[in-house]
């Protein structure tokens, strides 16, 4: 069975400090991995996907198949980064069945 | 650019009542899904559909029914509401391809008393 683990429920970081949100997964095949973000009073939206290898709002995430991890990183946190972050896995050729982690609530301290 | 629209936004039900949560998308997406979001548990898949006329169960389907008569609509029915179904429900849609983006509705907050 596939599983996504986000070990930190809450994470507080000072503005300007580096941020790392951890995500580990278990899946026997080749997964597609994503980070979704939910800002206050907004709908869940895609932040980035591993296959595109892009940086969005200063965030990056590298898929490490050896460690089965997909940690989200940002070198300098900003107050607007405060939100709920979900790591998600898609195991097939479509996104109708996403497996989500339990989420990490990131709070940036001014 | 409506995207994924869910109605209602809030609902209070009594135990045993039935209701339908509506979800509509205007992006001509083949895939649609329903998730529930509970504190400390993330989002869990209830039911999903890969196209009109095709539905299947997710991780937590008990107590819920779905149908997909059109590409645009994917309603979720609670047949006999229970307090354990108190949750925030999200509908999502996406096109084919494992690396594509899933678009979410704004959610329905359901309380069963």
- For residue A94, the model assigns a pLDDT of 61
Mean pLDDT of B79-84: 96
- For residue B77, the model assigns a pLDDT of 98
Rounded to 5 degrees, φ, ψ at A70 are: -150, 65
DSSP codes joined into one string, B59-95: SS-TTEEE--SSSSB--EEESS--GGG-EEEEEEEE-
- For residue A50, the model assigns a pLDDT of 81
* Integer Cα distance of A30 and A38 in angstroms: 26
* Integer Cα distance of B108 and A29 in angstroms: 34
Higher pLDDT, B72 or A50: B72
Answer yes or no: are the C-beta atoms of B26 and B9 closer than 8 Å: no
- For residue B98, the model assigns a pLDDT of 59
| Contact between chains at A96 and B43 (C-beta distance less than 8 A) | no
| Contact between chains at A96 and B40 (C-beta distance less than 8 A) | no
Rounded to 5 degrees, φ, ψ at A17 are: -85, 160
* Integer Cα distance of B89 and B73 in angstroms: 15
Considering only CB atoms, which chain A residues are within 8 Å of B94?
94-96
User: Please, what is the average pLDDT of chain B?
Assistant: 94
The residue of chain B nearest to residue A88, with distances taken between CA atoms, is B43
Question: Block means of pLDDT (10 residues each) for chain A, length 110 residues?
Answer: 93 97 91 92 91 83 92 96 95 76 96
Q: Is the peptide bond before B79 cis (omega within 30 degrees of 0)?
A: no
Q: Which of B5, B45, B98, B101 is the best residue to mutate to test the A interface, defined by the most A CB atoms within 10 Å of its own CB?
A: B98
Q: Which of B100, B101, B103, B109 is the best residue to mutate to test the A interface, defined by the most A CB atoms within 10 Å of its own CB?
A: B100
- What share of chain B has pLDDT > 70, as a percent? 96
Q: Which of A54, A94, A101, A104 is the best residue to mutate to test the B interface, defined by the most B CB atoms within 10 Å of its own CB?
A: A94
pLDDT at B99 over 70: no
Rounded to 5 degrees, φ, ψ at B71 are: -65, -35
Residue B4 Rama label (left phi>0; alpha psi -120 to 50; beta) = beta
Enumerate chain B positions whose Cβ falls within 8 A of a Cβ in A. Answer: 30-33, 35, 40-45, 48-50, 58, 90, 92, 94, 96-102, 104-107
The residue of chain B nearest to residue A85, with distances taken between CA atoms, is B42
- For residue A93, the model assigns a pLDDT of 61
Which of B46, B53, B44 lies closest to B21 in space, CA to CA? B46
Contacts of A93 (CB under 8 A, 6+ apart): B96, B97, B98
pLDDT at B1 over 70: no
Higher pLDDT, B112 or A63: B112
Contacts of A66 (CB under 8 A, 6+ apart): none
Mean pLDDT of B14-39: 95
């Amino acid at each position: 069975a596939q599983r996504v683990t986000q070990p930190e429920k809450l994470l507080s970081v000072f503005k300007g400090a580096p941020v790392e949100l951890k995500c580990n997964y278990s899946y026997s095949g080749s997964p597609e991995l994503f980070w979704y973000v939910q800002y206050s009073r907004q709908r869940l939206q895609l932040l980035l996907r591993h296959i595109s290898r892009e940086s969005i709002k200063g965030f990056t995430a590298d898929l490490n198949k050896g460690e089965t991890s997909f940690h989200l990183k940002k070198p300098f946190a900003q107050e607007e980064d405060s939100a709920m972050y979900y790591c998600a896995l898609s195991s097939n050729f479509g996104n109708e069945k996403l497996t989500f982690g339990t989420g990490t609530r990131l709070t940036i301290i001014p | 650019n409506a995207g994924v629209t869910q109605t209602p936004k809030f609902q209070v039900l009594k135990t045993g009542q039935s209701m339908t949560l509506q979800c509509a998308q205007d992006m001509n997406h083949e895939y649609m899904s329903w998730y529930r979001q509970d504190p400390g548990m993330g989002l869990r898949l209830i039911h999903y559909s890969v196209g009109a006329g095709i539905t299947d169960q997710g991780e937590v389907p008990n107590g819920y029914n779905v149908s997909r008569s059109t590409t645009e609509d994917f309603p979720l029915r609670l047949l006999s509401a229970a307090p354990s179904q108190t949750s925030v429900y999200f509908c999502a849609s996406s096109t084919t391809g494992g690396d594509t983006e899933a678009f979410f509705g704004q959610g329905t907050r359901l309380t069963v008393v």
